[in-house]
Amino acid sequence: MKLLQDIHEGLDPPPNCDEIIVSSGYEYYHYNCDGVDDRGWGCGYRTLQTVCSWISSKAVSQPAPSLHQIQEILVAIGDKEKGFIGSKEWIGSVEVGLVIDKLYDIPCKILHVSNGYQLNSHIQEIRNHFLSNQSILMMGGESDTSSKGIVGLATSSLTSDSYLLVLDPHYYELSTLDDNEQTTTKSTLQRDGWIQWRNINSFHLNTFYNICLPQTKVLNMT
């Protein structure tokens, strides 16, 4: 299946925002996009693939790894046991960082947010990441277990509101490896909320979050 790129394009910005930072140059990986039906367990892998596609578009020619390759890497570096290969075990922000480091020699910082109430206090750190590293983030939580790609940040000095541009990998579309096109469109994905601006206060308040911040400034991108 041919993957859609930069599915945020054309999406209306949140209201009253005077600073908007967005990472472009990614491919949208989601459930079953390569013919592997990973519903219920593959969201972290798909977000990792999206981040890898962004890295590949900027400075590294190595393509995003397959689900099987991701599992092989985690076993090879000693993070998982051999039985992990071929399983349906989830991965989170820590594993995402390990794979990016192994594949691209890019270290990753894990930002631990103790609960949703504290997300707003980390907005400046997220802003600094987008300004210095530019890359997409991976966000995972405890009770909010759904993996998310964070593609951008918007802030309003008028209302003091902050918004994250959230890319949801849980979209599912029937496909075969021979398909050349997706039947969906960017506008449909936007309408249905697979990419959306979310107010920082809309996240789960009583769960911790781990956010993987790839330190892509080591690539000396221009």
The predicted-structure confidence for 35-59, as pLDDT tens digits, reads as follows 999 999 999 999 999 999 999 998 7
216: DSSP letter: G
Q: Which of the four pLDDT bands, split at 50, 70 and 90, describes residue 132? A: very high
Mean predicted lDDT score pLDDT of the chain: 92
Structure tokens at 174: 């029937």
177 has pLDDT over 60:
no
Phi/psi for 75 (5° steps) reads -70, -45
Structure tokens at 203: 């996240």
> Among residues 17, 33, 43, 52, which one is catalytic?
43
3 state SS of 147: coil
- Verify whether residue 170 is a known catalytic residue: yes
pTM of the model: 0.94
Which contiguous run of DSSP H or E holds residue 102? Answer: helix 93-104
> Among residues 34, 38, 168, 212, which one is catalytic?
168
The predicted-structure confidence for 195-211, as pLDDT tens digits, reads as follows 999 999 999 888 899 99
Q: Which amino acid is at 20?
A: I
Q: Which of the four pLDDT bands, split at 50, 70 and 90, describes residue 1? A: low
- Verify whether residue 212 is a known catalytic residue: no
- Longest Cα–Cα distance of the chain, Å, equals 53
28 has pLDDT over 60:
yes
- Verify whether residue 105 is a known catalytic residue: no
**HEC profile of 115-133:** CHHHHHHHHHHHHHHHHHC
> Among residues 101, 170, 179, 204, which one is catalytic?
170
The predicted-structure confidence for 77-127, as pLDDT tens digits, reads as follows 999 999 999 999 999 999 999 999 999 999 999 999 998 899 999 999 999
pLDDT more than 70, % of the chain: 95
The reported pLDDT for the residue numbered 218 is 76
The reported pLDDT for the residue numbered 144 is 73
